[in-house]
Amino acid sequence: MLVFAKIKSVQQKIKSLKKGTSVGFVPTMGALHKGHLSLIEQAKRENDIVVVSIFVNPTQFNKKEDLVNYPKTIDSDLSLLKSVYCDLVFTPTAEEIYSNNIQSQLFNFDGLEHQMEGKFRDGHFDGVGTIVKRLFEIVTPHKAYFGEKDFQQLQIIKKMVQKNQIPVKVIGCDIFRENDGLAMSSRNERLTKEHRNAAPFIYKTLKQAKIEFGTKSALEIVDWVENEFKNQPLLELEYFEIADEETLQPIKNKNSAKNRAFIAVFAGKIRLIDNISL
């Protein structure tokens, strides 16, 4: 497994590949868990070589304390990547990516950025768009893999690729869950024992909402979920929405579009998100 921190070295290595070699790419912010490994395994199956980036992107954090507290576990990340036979790892510094101008480009994602996470995390998606576009320019992958846990992020990246005509196929991968249903996330490590025990309630509620969607209206389900969380002293609901998968606009009436339920919850100080296809 090759590890490069410099843009030039990664580019040279990728350029030196034989013509026709397919490159799969998994961008990450490190603190790798089984969810990331499942993306890498899928990328391995579908491409000749797999590149993983590890970069904690400063421009997508709207709270400085979240950036400071973000887990940095490079040694164990590299051993995990070796264990799944990753071919190339890109670990740039912020200076390498942004020179001395750590700022986001401003994007128009046709309104996707104003829904759900966009209401609570100012500038977050400009930061994500900026780094993913930059990484795509550096790595020039044929396919790139993103988890559906961040479904809004996935749709925004697809939009960015389409609007900028970037020649990469963006692939959304199923959410990887703990045995008790909690969606895997680097943030789970930071939950207290009490909050970790309470957190599976999030997915349990999403599953029940999916069942209720058969017979109840979207508004009734939103009310029901809000009430359910009132009885959970350790979990604070930030939002629950049922939205169209393409536009991410909340739906009022059931329609023929594909719908998905989205949720964000505070478990103590840790903010967790999840979603389910309805």
Contact region for ligand PAF (CB under 6 A) — 1-9, 22-30, 96-104, 162-170? Answer: 22-30
Taking the C-alpha atoms of residue 262 and residue 221, their distance in angstroms, rounded to an integer, is 12
Nearer to ligand PAF, 56 or 234 (CB): 56
Number of residues that bind ligand PAF (CB under 6 A): 10
28 touches ligand PAF (CB under 6 A) = yes
The answer to whether residue 117 forms part of the interface with ligand PAF (CB under 6 A) is no
**Contact between 188 and ligand PAF per CB under 6 A:** no
Beta strands in the chain (DSSP E): 2-4, 23-28, 49-54, 88-90, 143-147, 169-173, 235-244, 259-267, 270-277
Nearer to ligand PAF, 81 or 132 (CB): 132
User: Binding residue for ligand PAF (CB under 6 A) from 86, 131, 138, 183?
Assistant: 131
For residue 235, what are the β-bridge partners?
A: 267
Residue 174 CB neighbours (<10 A): 13
**With respect to ligand PAF, which residue has the nearer C-beta, 132 or 222?**
132
What CA–CA distances, in Å, run from 258 to 146, 244, 251?
19, 6, 10
Dist. CA 125–CA 109, nearest whole Å: 9
- The one catalytic residue in 36, 124, 142, 195 is 36
For ligand PAF, the binding residue among 38, 42, 47, 57 (CB under 6 A) is 57
Give the amino acid at 6.
K
- Regarding beta strands 143-147 and 23-28, do their DSSP bridges make them parallel or antiparallel, or are they unpaired? parallel
Residue 27 sits in the site that holds ligand PAF (CB under 6 A): yes
152 versus 205: smaller Cβ distance to ligand PAF: 152
Known active-site residue 33: no
**Taking CB under 6 A as the rule, does residue 116 contact ligand PAF?**
no
Q: What is the 3-state secondary structure (H, E, C) of 214-225?
A: CCCCHHHHHHHH
State yes or no: residue 128 binds ligand PAF (CB under 6 A).
Answer: yes
Contact 175, 148 (CB under 8 A): yes
CA pseudo-torsion sign 63, 176, 233, 193: negative
Stretch that binds ligand PAF, among 17-25, 87-95, 124-132, 247-255 (CB under 6 A): 124-132
Report if residue 150 touches ligand PAF, rule: CB under 6 A: yes
Known catalytic residues?
A: 36
Q: Can you give the binding site for ligand PAF, defined by CB under 6 A? A: 27-29, 57, 60, 128, 131-132, 150, 153
